[in-house]
């Protein structure tokens, strides 16, 4: 038995390039559908688990998919904004909690998520280093953001201007990092979290500047009418919240009209959920969606595409397998003299067939082994791969 294995192995090693190509072909036939399956399953799991734990989502009328992708996975498409008053309406509903979300701005590629402290409890996010938000201008960064940018508590990040020309109302804000979140293998790892009020400061609805009744502000004042001062837009605004200037930060306008992208609505039981869904059924301006239904719809599309891809891969694999068989058959013809020599030196027919079959077995076992190993590695890193390349 050992000599059969030895001869087969030596043959493969001698023809290493041909053997490697065959092993690779077998590995790819197995690997590609398997990896695809693992990644799709992981993607499905990640999408579904986040959607399942998010009962209801309130957002502007429009695409439920865009609303869900922005609110749950911080996708780059920003849905139409709704008013903060809509969040208060949900919060005032009996047995329903509401968490506002403002996912519009970014710091480099990381989404800046404006929300309330309840969000961290709701998602089960804990701080690995430092502390949660304390004041205006503070932020906590996700584990991946901290690792990729080498950030830790005490450092700072700057919000990126939304428009390339920088002519919009928003101002880049330098934010103090108060903490780094522990990894949760969710889109939260790639986000930067701020207080909703800080998001409004970035939006230009709140700001800090020196006292306009001060003499230094004379050049910025358009008019003074009794106790009413009208300033021009050139008033120098602070781009960082510090101990010295924090008291000067203020907001213009009514809070209830300030924008948010969505509200996470958390009913305490199914009855409250049904009642809330009923309340918003005929609303003209906002929609209340069940993320799990939106994601299931998306996944059905993904599965349909996956099935097409798998069919194509099975066909490709079958063709490749046929080619491998052809290679083996041709190889047998080429090796006629070698087989004849083996017979002449006393090799029985069974032993010769055994050597040839072992060669094929080695190729198949190696190919499948490599494919299995890589599939196993993919399974281990699938959460990160899906996070990084599919949902990022």
| Helices marked H in 258-348 | 270-279, 291-334, 336-344
CB-nearer residue toward other proteins: 149 or 255: 255
- Smallest separation, CB 158 to other proteins (Å): 19
CA dist 24 and 385 (Å) reads 23
CB-nearer residue toward other proteins: 40 or 289: 289
CB-nearer residue toward other proteins: 251 or 381: 251
- Smallest separation, CB 100 to other proteins (Å): 8
CB-nearer residue toward other proteins: 102 or 367: 102
Nearest in space to 375 (alpha carbons), one of 20, 144, 44, 41: 41
CA dist 158 and 141 (Å) reads 12
CB-nearer residue toward other proteins: 91 or 339: 91
Note the residues at the interface with other proteins (CB under 8 A): 53-55, 91, 97, 116-118, 121-122, 124, 131-136, 138, 195, 197, 212-213, 222, 227-233, 235, 241, 246-247, 249-255, 266-270, 273
User: Which residue in this structure is represented by tokens 């400061």?
Assistant: 201
Q: Which two tokens stand for residue 253?
A: 């306008």
- Smallest separation, CB 327 to other proteins (Å): 55
- Smallest separation, CB 260 to other proteins (Å): 12
CA dist 373 and 246 (Å) reads 56
Nearest in space to 366 (alpha carbons), one of 34, 37, 25: 25
Residue 265 makes CB contacts below 8 A (sequence gap 6+) with 55, 56, 57, 58, 90, 96, 97, 98, 276, 288
- Smallest separation, CB 1 to other proteins (Å): 48
CA dist 67 and 33 (Å) reads 32
- SS3 string of 355-386? HHHHHHHHHHHHHHHHHHHHHHHHHHHHHHHH
- Smallest separation, CB 72 to other proteins (Å): 13
CB-nearer residue toward other proteins: 59 or 317: 59
């Amino acid at each position: 038995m050992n000599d059969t294995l030895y001869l087969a192995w030596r043959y493969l090693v001698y023809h290493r390039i041909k053997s490697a190509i065959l092993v690779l072909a077998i590995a790819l036939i197995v690997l590609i559908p398997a990896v695809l399956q693992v990644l799709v399953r992981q993607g499905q799991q990640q999408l579904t688990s986040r959607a399942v734990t998010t009962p209801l989502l309130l957002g502007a009328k429009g695409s439920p998919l865009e609303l869900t992708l922005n609110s749950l996975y911080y996708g780059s498409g920003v849905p139409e904004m709704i008013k903060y008053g809509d969040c208060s309406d949900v919060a005032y509903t009996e047995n329903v909690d509401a968490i506002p979300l403002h996912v519009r701005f970014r710091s480099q590629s990381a989404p800046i998520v404006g929300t309330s402290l309840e969000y961290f409890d709701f998602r089960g996010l804990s701080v690995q280093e430092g502390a949660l938000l304390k004041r205006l201008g503070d932020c906590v960064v996700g584990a991946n953001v901290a690792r990729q940018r080498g950030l830790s508590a005490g450092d700072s990040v700057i919000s990126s201007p939304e428009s390339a020309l920088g002519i919009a109302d928003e101002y880049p804000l330098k934010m103090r990092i108060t903490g780094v979140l522990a990894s949760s293998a969710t889109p939260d790892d790639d986000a930067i979290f701020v207080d909703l009020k800080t998001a409004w400061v970035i939006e230009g609805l709140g700001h800090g500047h020196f006292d306009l009744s001060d003499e230094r502000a004379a050049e910025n004042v358009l008019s003074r009418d009794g106790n009413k001062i009208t300033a021009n837009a050139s008033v120098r605004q602070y781009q960082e919240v510090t101990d010295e200037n924090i008291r000067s930060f203020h907001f213009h306008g009514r809070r209830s009209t300030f924008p948010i992208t969505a509200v996470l609505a958390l009913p305490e039981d199914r009855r409250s959920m049904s009642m809330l869904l009923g309340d918003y059924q005929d609303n003209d301006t906002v929609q209340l969606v069940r993320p799990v239904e939106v994601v299931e719809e998306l996944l059905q599309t993904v599965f349909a595409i996956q099935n097409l891809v798998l069919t194509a891969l099975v066909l490709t694999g079958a063709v490749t397998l046929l080619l491998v068989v052809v290679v083996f058959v041709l190889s047998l013809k080429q090796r006629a003299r070698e087989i004849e020599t083996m017979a002449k030196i006393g090799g029985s027919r069974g032993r010769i067939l055994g050597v040839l079959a072992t060669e094929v077995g080695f190729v198949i076992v190696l190919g499948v082994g490599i494919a299995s190993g890589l599939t196993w590695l993919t399974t281990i890193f699938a959460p990160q791969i899906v996070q990084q390349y599919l949902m990022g």
